[in-house]
A and B are shown apart, each in its own frame.
Chain A
């Protein structure tokens, strides 16, 4: 029986190729998206799930209680040591300092080879807490001595080629010679840890400006430091946290609020706990999952509508089968088998497409999904559910319609539309397809609009004319000043500032404690620091609203603050702030306020403008040079900067970025989400279009006779096209009415993540509806026009 079903199914597919093509293509596209989305979701759900004792691993984090709670994924560097040495909680404790890209030089051959791999400094137990195995051996005394490192296999290959990397050396940041003592298996992509070079923590204690992090300090924290512990068996983290609650008062009373709280964050929670850094919002996975589902739903609806309509052509077969004694449920099963076959073909094609497009997908959306994610039971289960689910979802309704065709009618005459499913059902289905597409397009428009708003609004500082140039880590003040003077000496350079970083950051950390006007207590809020020399505000175009800029001198005793600082203090007139003493972060900076600057967006549009101070750095904590250039001669300006820079730092790699690119970069995840949504909405519309084409083709075939008659009676082509438009016009209108509030609800919710939001205007709704309308009309007119202009005699005869 099954064989017979498959046979006839296959012959039907071949007989009505265009219909099969529409169905299969739509489903295949839906499937390939679903598979890619599956990979994406799986990637995140399996994040760091390969560590043996995951349930006992915790990250030390802090809750900083001021006027609001700030969540830091770090603790003072002394804390882990106390935790390990003075208490009995931990089996192992390890710190890691992620220093981002570091300069690494290998002196093999004639010219030194320079690389900038992501580099971290780790304590030896780090690799005993986590499951990142060495190649060919177990951990013994790796990373215990200063100036040693272990590197990944991929990195070893890059640095040393095919020679054995063990005991080879490289130079870090042009100062320390580091010896490789071990090679790690390449790290998986779905882990929090993404460094390639791991240098022993002890190396930091001998030199380097981060040395304070490496010592037993309770003052100050840096996100680059993360601390992990593997608790002993049967420890209650809540009890431990209770004990840790006493620590701020015990170890570091002022200015740290005694309400600050050090906590243990369960390691498996890290990836989705969006309060802390290194996380993604789990909602994103839900949204993508829903989009995948809806794409498949659109394709299923195509299948349902087209198959139901096409059942007219199957009525004779159904009639005959019933005459020959077939039961209803046999016919239903037959049709399900056919659907299953089509679904299977679509799935195979969809699978092929997704494998084919995976590299492209990864590239475009900056992902690192692997084909290996498709070889597991989870995926097999997913595919099985997809196959069976879609076959049932798409096949049931047409199957019921076919099975209930009365044989007497079927054999007597061709069936009419009303015998092939109610037109109301079809209208509801088509409308819901339109709803999905319209919602997706609205989402694309709103996301795009918000990104545009965030990147092209006036941020309170210049972005388009400024180039940020990196600085090596060890420098001297004199060296910097001469470099600055050299760079300024070009007509294409307008201004130069040496600074810690540009005025805007994606998220501006949590800030430091501030004491104003000699008050007995530190303020209830934290202040952000913008360290830069006396040219900082001029270079970046930050405006003064009161007082003056600070003057260049050897000691730091003059400070600028922004308007928000005044508001937070409760002083609304900037003039009143002038001359008032200010103390920042435990006497790190002590001085007077000499000027107040206009508020600028110190972080991206997610966060509100914080209280900010601008001052020169007391120690040499400068990271970058901001150069305001003449954009008319960008190339010459860049050449000039590079020339000067490399003559000062011949052993380092020159790197620069335009500040407006950096601002765009802040919205990378939004951009990525936008690209994904754009792709999916395009596909939704495309699959919609396929369905419309299929339906219209069918109706045209049905109406050819009617159209022919009307033409004979003297109807104009336009009247005839009206036949097709009228229906779709209403359906799209209804779809627009349903889609708009739904989309508004979700997009408004999405916008709540931003402190500064774009408007959702009327055209955000009108445009997608218009798009769908135009597309539908184009398809309908193409098909309708051909029918309408066909020779009426011919179409009458063919009936």
Chain B
């Protein structure tokens, strides 16, 4: 964004807020306390009689009916204000990369609160527990559950549970007892709070907050296991928090003397009931959703609605039964994700994802803004230095102690121990957030005289963790990871080797199965595949469960979309373009090319649709010449930068998966696509050479012609509806060739077909086959390297790309896309015997082609 645009935003934002907020405050007298709204007399009552006058002297042409729309207007207005705040904050990336967005939102809330305070002398808007727990929190947690990486979660479930249960109890107990001890020791002046109340305070303070954790960790890309430990813990500890809070609340009401062993035992039992009950409710609702989506084929338009409604209902149901609502909605999301994605239509799946992210992100924004606003309230501010500082200290210290101790125990049983650095980050990442604040506000003032003190201590702790720890988290992560400073700039070769090592490590991880196959897992998989999928998934969806098939399908989709986008943007003339330009521009920094792109868009092609998705520009030939020169000159400098940009990232670097605001990285998908296709091609080649002369496998496609059967056994297309193959469908390999069947659905087993030269002429006249010219000439000497599909895609469009997307045709030749891609390669391999096929005739459509 341009500088002046940013400044404009600031100006606009602040002016807008000031203008709009002040008159509204003048009118608005609503505080959202409890479950019903009431007018409070604390504000200008003289203005509150607008529009409701009972005496009409004449017909009003237009009247101002504020109270008519008061409630929804305020709700909508505050949502708007929060979002505008987020807009302003996100305008400048330099700021948000240093200070996490949540911290900035809280500060924004401070400002707003200050303005309201200045206008009203009393805080008319606060984050009330009802609104928070019923309207703002559920969608955040539902989003968390829905996008939870199940495999990772359940692998580390033991550790997560230990931390969530034992860790939280430890935090609560230690905090409460220490504070009480300090009070006895006189460190807090003349405060008088009972031990039970301290324990109650400890229990609400102990819980790590999922909202804050997501918000802060999103910008700090830590490794998967660390993230899931902290995040999983923050979600699961709600079970403990609810129990502890209720138990201590009851104890406080009962009073000291009435507490005996029976009560304590009841407390412990209630923990199990709450936790497991909550999870069970969530599970039931998750299964319900899955079942429903199985039948909603005819109402696909509102399919997504079911997810949200049922998720919310699971939350409310658990709340109604005094079970753990957060656990319920988390498990609901986690349980249904797989089946929903399988059952629902593509569009619905996308809708659910996007809508959920939007809701969650929005809620988070509102939560943080209101956290800020709630602070500016003179009524709640009671300051007791000792209490507050000691609380802060103890919260931090006991968190560290708890995490280190528990992890030490855990590491004795874990295959991959958690390192020291990870433990530090885990401890430091124990952020408190709005949940603690909500619980604090829910305290009963009659039973606990010092409620205000507790509330403002909670607020201070929340601010400390979110703002201070949030800001310092990233530097800390970077500091801890950097063991040796890089003195010299790494050479190109070093970079390459580093990347290579990364990939190697990732591959070894996969081979050795760190997320391992063990007995329980295979048992569960068996059960799940045979029973649950059977009940909960549509029959058509069940067939598609093969993972490789799935990946290939996704790639096809992406190809299709890219092709359409490209075609639209470049217009028909662009097919003439020199392919050189495209490669080079792909490599240059994107802003640069984007500018050129913009400059030329208007000149050349008026009919071009503006897209900002993919900055592959279309340039006129003159500009192209200039830039080619510039590229050649700067090649040395560029090469390094370019290599850096374009080396495939290994999986360790793909940590954005759990981000709140980003779904996937485009680069990730493209890389996956390229790598996957290349790998398949290579395997095909090696497989072909290995399998020559071997009997073709048993499964035979029904609709391929009989005379071709023994030559092209598995010609299949990607059209799912027509995939019909006998034999071992879906059974994953009792024999070595078994699996090949299933994944060879995606690849063409040329097998015995290619070896026979007599069939070569059969393939030549295929007008389906178009060999890109450069492939014919230049690939002869480097037959080991397969040209990636990308080259064929981005360079002059060959109709072979189209074939991939074409519907299934019953023909003697397989229309499998890999077939078509691979035939030039496999032909090359056998080129000893054959000459390179002559350039086939061009169909008329490719007029003006290279």
Q: Do A and B interact? A: no
